[in-house]
């Protein structure tokens, strides 16, 4: 068992008893063994769905002039659409994450002559969780686009506006890959650049 996955190894070690004169273990061999791990992934998926929704709601508010007292969709006097059209991007991804958060560990059939009558769908659960993480990078990447645009617009309105040292450094690094939206442009490259920037910098957190 020394080469086993650390989580599975810990799970098996928990089955051993050596106390009060009792020594031994009762080790189940059914497919339900990884169920605690799978349930944890499903719980984390629900949390990611909430994060996705929260990010989407913040981004919607950033584009609302009644909330920010900035321009609609964070545009300039040279834009028409600005960031209006890309609301569909994060909204659809947040909706997808809601569906991916639905538990699927109980979706099963009794197979192999009814011998295999329980399972966890662990590979499917983990694949869905991985997709949710990737979607969340895009959702929050679009949010950062809005945040940076709002900062620039606020600085134009209030030239003396100051950011914290950490925020200023992050903002300046971000602006190296996603420039200010002065005029309308095709935004797919910006979305991809923001996604990659967030993935790269999240490793430092």
What is residue 23's three-state secondary structure? strand
Residue 119 backbone dihedrals phi, psi, to 5 degrees: -160, 180
> Rounded to an integer, what distance in angstroms lies between the CA atom of residue 15 and that of residue 26?
6
Tell me how far apart the 2 most distant CA atoms of the chain are, in Å: 81
Band of residue 7 on the pLDDT scale cut at 50, 70, 90: low
Write the CATH number of the domain with boundaries 32-202. 1.20.200.10
Highest mean pLDDT among 1-5, 65-69, 104-108, 116-120: 65-69
Pairing of strands 22-25, 16-19: antiparallel
pLDDT greater than 70 at residue 90: yes
pLDDT in tens, 43-59: 999 999 999 999 999 99
> Which pair of tokens denotes residue 4?
């086993």
Res 204: pLDDT: 67
Q: What mean pLDDT comes out for the span 64-72?
A: 96
Unique residue bearing structure tokens 């506006």? 161
Band of residue 6 on the pLDDT scale cut at 50, 70, 90: low
pLDDT in tens, 128-175: 999 999 999 999 999 999 999 999 999 999 999 999 999 999 999 999
pLDDT in tens, 10-41: 666 777 888 888 888 776 666 557 888 899 99
Alpha carbons within 13 A on the beta-carbon side of 64? 8
For residue 69, the 8-state DSSP code is S
Nearest to 184 by CA among 81, 84, 37, 48: 81
Arithmetic mean of pLDDT over the chain: 90
Res 205: pLDDT: 56
Q: What is the pTM of this model?
A: 0.83
């Amino acid at each position: 068992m020394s080469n086993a996955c650390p989580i599975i190894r810990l799970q098996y070690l928990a089955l051993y008893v050596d106390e009060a004169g009792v020594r031994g273990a009762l080790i189940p061999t059914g497919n339900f063994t990884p169920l605690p791990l799978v349930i944890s992934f499903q719980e984390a998926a629900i949390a990611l769905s909430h994060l996705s929704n929260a990010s989407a709601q913040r981004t919607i508010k950033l584009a609302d002039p009644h909330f920010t007292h900035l321009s609609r969709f964070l545009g300039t006097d040279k834009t028409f659409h600005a960031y209006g059209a890309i609301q569909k991007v994060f909204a659809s991804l947040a909706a997808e994450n809601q569906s991916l958060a639905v538990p699927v560990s109980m979706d099963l059939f009794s197979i192999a002559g009814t011998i295999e009558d329980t399972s966890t769908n662990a590979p499917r659960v983990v694949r869905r969780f991985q997709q949710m993480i990737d979607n969340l990078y895009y959702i929050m990447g679009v949010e950062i686009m809005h945040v940076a645009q709002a900062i620039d617009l606020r600085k134009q309105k209030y030239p003396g506006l100051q950011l914290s040292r950490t925020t200023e450094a992050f903002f300046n690094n971000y602006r190296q890959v996603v420039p200010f939206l002065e005029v309308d442009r095709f935004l797919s490259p910006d979305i991809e650049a923001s996604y990659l920037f967030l993935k790269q910098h999240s490793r430092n957190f």
